[in-house]
């Protein structure tokens, strides 16, 4: 199963986290972050990995998810072979107040794949708006 996903992550308090070797320390404000990713081999395995606390830090998102002040609170995803990860990320950036520059997008030309929202409702409604605008069916693990 292939697809694209949006991890909705709650950061419970302002937190400084070292993200890999290149990005360095980043201050994550308390709030909701949406991480946009894709899995063109096994969507189910990728989502299970993101939900697990038993993993090595490999991707930028691992550093955030393994921090005690952050947790995944929902996942919205679609099953597709189409590569729409960057389209979703750009749409979310255009409808949010902030992004973490260069986060999660080392393999594309996007500004970021981690977008900040003040609350969960705004984040989820923005993702749903993207899917509805492009008539794409999606699921939620909420």
Tens place of pLDDT for every residue, the chain, 142 residues?
Answer: 999 999 999 999 999 999 988 899 999 999 999 999 999 999 999 999 999 999 999 999 999 999 999 999 999 999 999 999 999 999 999 999 899 999 999 989 999 999 999 899 999 999 999 999 999 999 998 7
The token duo for 8 is: 């909705």
- In 3D, which of 29, 39, 38 has the Cα closest to residue 9? 29
Contact 84, 130 (CB under 8 A): no
- In 3D, which of 99, 17, 12, 3 has the Cα closest to residue 45? 3
Distance of CA 64 to the CA centre of its chain: 10
Q: What is the reported pTM?
A: 0.96
Hey, is 43 helix, strand or coil? helix
Q: Which residues of 50-82 are buried (b: 16+ CB within 10 A; e: fewer)?
A: beeeeeeeebbbbbbbebeebebebbbbbebee
């Amino acid at each position: 199963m292939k697809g694209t996903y949006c991890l909705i992550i709650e950061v419970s308090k302002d937190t400084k986290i070292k993200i890999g070797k290149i990005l360095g320390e980043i201050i994550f404000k308390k709030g909701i972050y949406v991480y946009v990713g894709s899995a063109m081999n096994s969507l189910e395995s990728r989502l299970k990995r993101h939900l697990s606390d038993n993993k090595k830090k490999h991707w930028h998102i691992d550093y955030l998810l393994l921090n005690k002040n952050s947790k995944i609170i929902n996942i919205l995803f679609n099953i597709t072979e189409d590569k729409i990860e960057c389209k979703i990320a750009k749409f979310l950036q255009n409808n949010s107040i902030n992004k973490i520059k260069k986060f999660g997008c080392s393999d594309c030309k996007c500004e970021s794949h981690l977008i900040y929202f003040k609350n969960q409702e705004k984040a989820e409604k923005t993702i749903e708006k993207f899917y509805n605008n492009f008539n794409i069916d999606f699921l939620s693990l909420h």
